[in-house]
Structure 1
Amino acid sequence: MTTSNSINYQDFIPSVLQQFVAANGEISKTELDPKLHHLLDLRASQINQCAFCVKMHTKEALDDGESQERLQRLTVWRHVGDFTPAEKAALAWTEALTSLDQKTDYSALRTDLRVHFSDAEISAITSCVAMINLWNRIQVSNH
């Protein structure tokens, strides 16, 4: 949803947006599992209350074979058995990087990530989370 006084960023900073799109494309070329990528994009978008991105990433996840049941329970991932330990580690990291809190123990979260992912994969996960947070803020700025 946009308002009548929304800003069409494409009109004013097209080269910046093109670079964001290019960066997003580079993240997609990493070894990050596409299904996990969808979960991370969707969870960050839920936290950021970006309706446009929630709708888009839900559709993309379903199109790539994710189940409706898991997507419906994504907001309560800690309390259900639908997600693997690796997915849970990545979701915890996503939430920590989306809702910054000085009390967060990033070292413990990285330790948990390293049980399941290589440093290259963690770099891709971190880039994915940073990118979706960027896109969410652009979209939310026009709510």
Structure 2
Amino acid sequence: MTVPLDPAGLAQRAAALCVLLSSSDTVRRRPEVQAAAGRALALLRSGSDADALTACYGHLDHVLRQAGIAGGLVSGSRGATAPGVTTHIKVAVCPAPARCSRLERARDLLPAPHCAVHDTRMHKRRLRPGE
């Protein structure tokens, strides 16, 4: 079962496509990458639905990996350099006013863990600098 991308995931892939198309060497040297990137760009510009974009981005990612670009469409370096895209880590924190010091990475598709100190479910939020 595949989980469809959320709008933020689609925006990140659109930004990664922008960066990919800006790196002319990657696209120009490989016609299969150029064709897949062109299809993705056409769908994006035409305002296609999220399912069509997700499928097209998946195909482009597959083509990039077959062409020897191990990071695919959204690698750590490409995603970090895309304008307007920031990486963040979701963490679970204690929801009580007097927080316990427990802090752990929260997974998107799973509920936040239980805080045994305050007998309640922890809250998910983005990790802040300095934590």
- TM-score of the two chains, using structure 2 as the length reference: 0.29
- Which structure is richer in relative contact order (CA contacts within 8 A, separation 6 or more)? 1
Question: In proportion to residue count, which structure has more helix?
Answer: 1
* Bigger Rg over Cα: 2
- TM-score of the two chains, using structure 1 as the length reference: 0.27
